[in-house]
Amino acid sequence: MTHRTLIQDLAALPDGPVTVAGWVETVRDQKKVQFIILRDESGAAQLVNPATRPSTDSGAQEPSEAPAEGPGSAAALALTESISALSHGTFVRVTGELKHDERVKLGGLEVKIGTLEVVSEALETPIAADSSLDKRLDWRFLDLRQPKQSLIFRVQTTFLHALRTVWVEKGFIEIQTPKLMASASESRAELFQLEYFETVAYLAQSPQFFKQMAQSAGFGGIFEVGPAFRADPSFTSRHATEFTSIDTEFSWIDSHEDVMALHEELLAAGFQAVADTHGDEIREFFDVEVTVPQRPFPRIPLAEAKRIVAEQGYVIPRADDDMDPEGERRISQYVRETYGHEFVFLTDYASSIRPFYHMRHEGDPSLTNSYDLIFNGVEISTGAQREHRVEVLEAQAREKGLEPEELSFYLDFFRYGVPPHGGFGMGLARVLMLMLGESSIRETTYLFRGPTRLLP
């Protein structure tokens, strides 16, 4: 097979023969010359062909009488005609001569076409860059050909690689937990139930139970990047019924402060890698400057955060003790103005709105050793120290309306010994949405799933 050179690698090659392949982005079919902008997974390059067209002179040769080779040959005529017929999105393979020329605006080089093979012809595209988001999602595979869209997932790859590097260097173990469960991992709300042979199963809302099992197993630090499911009929810009969750859990912590410290380290490493690798492209396509967050991140107890927001004239209308989206936006604005920071940990959440497995404050069971991480006005993560005393877990489960008998497999983890531990779960698409200044996680999810979307 002829060796294909990625477009991003052309600049490092000397002038000479090359083979490139990708899809046709544009064709400029002029009278004496033809240009193709060819794009592959790594970038775009200009291809050029001196157009050869049948002469209109009365004494001209018929195409069938054209010479076998040369500017007026049958092959040259055929190449010109085939380029004229190319449609946007058609995949082609081209062999030609690479020439470096600083006058060429696109990369300072071009490839003079020798041969062109149409590998897969495309119909007229049904979407454009300015099509509605829903229409672009209907044709997501075409939408992702746009360099701005594909950049999102190169950023995602760089970000996750940086996180994995931190975990691996700390000796953490990567695990893959099951997504079919016999009982709820959080509560019975927002559960997808499905038939499972002679019984029923539930799609995992999080890997929480299995992350904690790894602590009982003696793994120490673990991490997972995998799907989670919430039967939430929300149509907001930050909710999905299936999403990618970034999770970690580790042993021998003293408090949730240890979890926040790891969380900061991971995010700082991820943002640094993205800024270093993609900063220029992100500025070009998203008009965003990726800022590497300084450590430590600001920390504000939830009660204080609500007081700050109230002093600014906004009283959270919720009946529970949680922060609402407007409150998150306002506390983020306060943190930007006061600390110059895009992140803030809201700590010490009420036990009434936290899962049964969150450890409660020593001496004040109304509060938990937990936090939410807010990034540019949106919650991206919840973390906590976990309760590791089995008798306390059983009591707290009952308070939440859960029967310990239904959780027996989970509670067994704690009956045979488990160290103090904690961790967090974080939504990948939300982080990317806020990092890149996008308006919806639909843009930063490869294939979005919501209450009314199961295709493509």
User: Which residues are documented as binding site for ATP?
Assistant: 379, 427-430
Cα–Cα distance for residue pair 46/37, rounded to 1 Å? 5
Count CB neighbours of 454 within 10 A: 10
Cα–Cα distance for residue pair 447/140, rounded to 1 Å? 7
CA 157 to chain centre: 8
Order the strands of the 180-181 sheet from edge to edge. 180-181, 199-203, 193-196
Residue 223's DSSP bridge partners are: 174, 248
Any idea which residue has 């673990």 for tokens? 222
Binding site feature residues for L-aspartate: 186, 230, 382, 386
Using DSSP, state whether 426 is helix, strand or coil: strand
* Position 213, amino acid: M
Cα–Cα distance for residue pair 24/90, rounded to 1 Å? 5
Residue 93's DSSP bridge partners are: 21, 117
Query: What are the backbone dihedrals phi and psi of residue 253, each rounded to the nearest 5 degrees, phi first?
Result: -95, 155
Q: Which of 208, 219, 255 is nearest to 418 (CA)?
A: 219
In the chain, count H helices and then E strands. Answer: 11, 18
Binding site feature residues: 186, 230, 379, 382, 386, 427-430
Q: Which of 229, 205, 131, 144 is nearest to 449 (CA)?
A: 229
Count CB neighbours of 74 within 10 A: 17
Q: What is the DSSP letter of 439?
A: S
Count CB neighbours of 122 within 10 A: 15
Cα–Cα distance for residue pair 23/45, rounded to 1 Å? 11
Determine contact, residues 222/246, Cβ cutoff 8 Å.
no
Order the strands of the 173-174 sheet from edge to edge. 173-174, 222-229, 242-251, 421-427, 378-385, 370-375, 343-347, 299-301
- Three-point CA angle 142, 290, 279, nearest 5°: 65
